[in-house]
Structure 1
Amino acid sequence: MDPELYRALARYNSWMTGRLYETCAELSDAQRREDRGAFFKSIHSTLNHILFADSVWMNRFTGRSYAHRGMGVDIHDDFDALRQAHLAITDEISNWVETLDVEWLAGDLTWTSSDGKRTSTRPRWLLVSHLFNHQTHHRGQITTMLSQCGLDIGVTDLPFVPEQTGAHTTKFADTPNGQSAADI
């Protein structure tokens, strides 16, 4: 696996996480906490779950400890604290992927589950891919919940991350070439 893929996905994660919190801030705290039938019930708890999973995987990848209360338990009750912690870990992920190389990605990672009941070994490239796929999955749930509240987060497609830099990337405006999300 090419580490540049993960650098692009980290830029996407930072962009989308920021946009997600900007849009979520338009809701009241009660609206963010309302049970909307999602797996983690509310927008607030789904945001907390993404942060939880990011912190668990980053601990496994880097050895750094992160505070959490376990799967399905909100890490932060306060929206602003949640936002600050989530944006901070997106920065950490972005910095960390800069250190990735082909050799590290080609190796395996062995870890024990959060509940301590099982040990697993998988290729690192697969687990790093899962980190980013998991974020995208749950952000998609949140964008659906936001849509149900009448809020549109806008274009969410990976090729249109603004300010992409790197050997094989191009800069894009928020909506490329004046296109709407329906045109993409």
Structure 2
Amino acid sequence: MEPKFLVLARWTVWANRCLYDACAGLAQEEYYKRRSSAFPSIHLTLNHLLATDRIWLGRLSGDGHSIPSLDYEVCPDFPSLRLARGKEDDRLTGVVQRLVEEGRPSAMLDYISMDGRPQTMRVDLVLSHLFLHHAHHRGQVHCLLSQTDVAPPSLDLTYFPREGT
């Protein structure tokens, strides 16, 4: 049986791909349109997920990050954001694979929060947060897509093809 965090990493990559495929069908006006949500557009919500992945994966890998804020716009347009998302998804699966192989999910992670305070959290809780955070904001993009002519994709884990898991 594949370890749960690896399954969740692969599900996240799959769900991101499905969501980006749907967003590719949007007119630019719809993609950037200001809407009522935690982040005021589909574009800015997707940027938030990329920014937070860079933050958390930088902490987990020990590589650090250069993201100045949680609402930082990493990429100004959809094509560059999609390309960056794919690279970050590769990084996500690699970091999670290493953590699992090294038996580190029960280890403690020391890091500095975005407000500059030292923090400590178990790696398994950080990973749980990372995947729940993704699902939360993908759900927001799903809702925002439902306000357009592009049908939002089914992203539930139950729809994820899980060969061998």
After TM superposition, is the score higher than 0.5?
A: yes
Residue of structure 2 equivalent to 1:154: 153
Q: Percent identity?
A: 34
Q: Who is 2:53 aligned against? A: 54
Q: 1: CA distance between counterparts of 2:159 and 2:119? A: 36
Q: Is the 8 A contact 1:52 1:75 kept in 2?
A: yes
Aligned to 2:97: 98
Local SS of the residue matching 1:98 = helix
Q: Does the aligned pair in 2 maintain the 1:109–1:121 contact within 8 Å?
A: yes
- C-alpha distance in 2, partners of 1:43/1:141? 8
Structure-1 residue corresponding to 2:42: 43
2:31 alignment counterpart: 32
Structure 2: distance between partners of 1:59 and 1:154: 29
Q: Which has the higher contact order (CA 8 A, sep 6+)?
A: 2
Contact 1:3 1:100 in 2 (8 A): no
Indicate the residue corresponding to 1:114 in structure 2: 114
Q: For structure 2, which runs of at least 5 residues remain unmatched after alignment?
A: none
- After superposition, the CA RMSD in angstroms is 1.8
The question of whether the paired residues in 2 share the 8 Å contact of 1:69 and 1:75 is answered with: no
The answer to whether the 8 A contact 1:48-1:76 is kept is yes
Q: Which residue of 1 aligns with 2:163?
A: 165
Shift of 1:67: 4.5
Q: TM-score, normalised by structure 2?
A: 0.91
Over 6 Å off, 4+ runs = none
**Hey, what's the Cα distance between the residues in 2 that align with 1:44 and 1:27?**
11
Q: Tell me the equivalent position of 1:137.
A: 136
After TM superposition, give the deviation of residue 29 of structure 1 in Å. Answer: 1.8
Name the CA distance, whole Å, in 2 between partners of 1:45 and 1:69. Answer: 15
Report how many residues are paired: 164
Q: Distance between the aligned counterparts of 2:65 and 2:97, measured in 1? A: 20
For residue 130 of structure 2, what is the amino acid of its counterpart? Answer: L
Q: Structure 1 length as normaliser, TM-score?
A: 0.82
Give 5+ residue unaligned stretches, structure 1: 170-184
